[in-house]
Structure 1
Amino acid sequence: MFARFFCGVAFAALSVSAASADSSPTDKSKVTVVFDHVLPNVPGKSMKGVLVEYQPGGSSPAHTHPKSAFIYATVLEGEIRSKVNDGPEKVYRAGENFAELPGDHHGVSANNSKTQPARLLAVFVVDTNEKNIVKNDK
């Protein structure tokens, strides 16, 4: 039921126009905010949907998220290789999901394929005033 709800959010969020999306492409990945809404029953919190698209062989730099952020991610297409904190590196396939707790370090986030694209939807519950939802390691 939980996964179905967020898949519904994913498809609804994808209909958001490009004009309202925050997109920052790299050579092999693209991150776009596709949904941003204040939670009316949770003062000070918002839900943000972030579409992460990886070209074959693409990846994101190691990063953290705001201390207020709880993240639920669902793989929409392909296979995503992920490592959070000191846990094992794991491959998630389309339809599978994982969570990141506030303060977690995302050491690996990459397309597991060198030939096929991959996409995931990360849904954040985060402080409404938080504007920078990803902080790359230096």
Structure 2
Amino acid sequence: MTIDHSHHIEDPNATTPPPKFEVVGSVPTPPVPDPSEAMTLLVTLPPGSAGTPPHRHTGPAFGYVIQGEMIFELEGEPERVVRAGETFWEPGGDVIHYQDGNNLADAESRFVVTMFGVPGQPMLIPVSAEELEERRPRRAPRP
């Protein structure tokens, strides 16, 4: 079942064209911590940046690449390239976020991400080398 998410409200006093709304990503609502805090970040990855080391978040995160290309990998899923104009999301919680690096060696990549986390806890929780080794079977095969 598909729902039309387009939005248009007639404005008889408008002197310019109406705003354009385009759904670029949609996922069923994942569990959100209670209580929770929402934060929106603009992340700039320098050319060739490996991004952050493997980590997890206390809640879900939803993002949109505005420039360049990001290598994105979550536990149990193959790595993929997310390009400008595309979205990504992760459920947070116990799932390890392995990669969020710049796929371009000669240009910056930028993305906006909104995260729902537990107030007072870090937004990124590093994963130890020991835990990465223990959970290695959960990681998708590497290209």
- TM-score when normalising by structure 1: 0.64
Tell me the residue number matched to 1:53.
44
Structure 1 spans left out of the alignment, 5+ residues:
7-41
1:131 and 2:121 correspond: yes
Deviation at residue 131 of structure 1 after TM alignment:
3.1
Match of 2:56 among 60, 64, 69: 64
Q: In structure 1, how many angstroms separate the alpha carbons of the residues matched to 2:22 and 2:41?
A: 17
Q: Which amino acid in structure 1 is aligned with residue 62 of structure 2?
A: Y
| Bigger fraction of residues in helix | 1
Structure 1 runs (4+) deviating above 3 angstroms are 1-6
1:117 and 2:108 correspond: yes
Tell me the residue number matched to 1:12.
none
8 Å CA contact retained: 2:57, 2:117:
no
Q: In structure 1, how many angstroms separate the alpha carbons of the residues matched to 2:72 and 2:127?
A: 16
Tell me the residue number matched to 1:44.
35
Deviation at residue 4 of structure 1 after TM alignment:
5.4
Tell me the residue number matched to 2:96.
105
Deviation at residue 62 of structure 1 after TM alignment:
1.1
| Bigger fraction of residues in strand | 1
The C-alpha deviation readout for 1:16-75, integer Å capped at 9, x for no partner, is xxxxxxxxxxxxxxxxxxxxxxxxxx9732210122210000022111111xx1110111
Q: In structure 1, how many angstroms separate the alpha carbons of the residues matched to 2:121 and 2:40?
A: 13
Larger Rg: 2
Deviation at residue 122 of structure 1 after TM alignment:
1.2
Q: In structure 2, how many angstroms separate the alpha carbons of the residues matched to 1:60 and 1:4?
A: 30
Same amino acid, percent of matched pairs: 24
Count of equivalent residues: 100
- TM-score when normalising by structure 2: 0.62
Tell me the residue number matched to 2:18.
none
Deviation at residue 136 of structure 1 after TM alignment:
1.8
Q: In structure 1, how many angstroms separate the alpha carbons of the residues matched to 2:81 and 2:34?
A: 35
How is 1:18-37 mapped onto 2 (pairs within 5 angstroms)?
none
Let me know the Cα RMSD of the aligned residues. 2.5
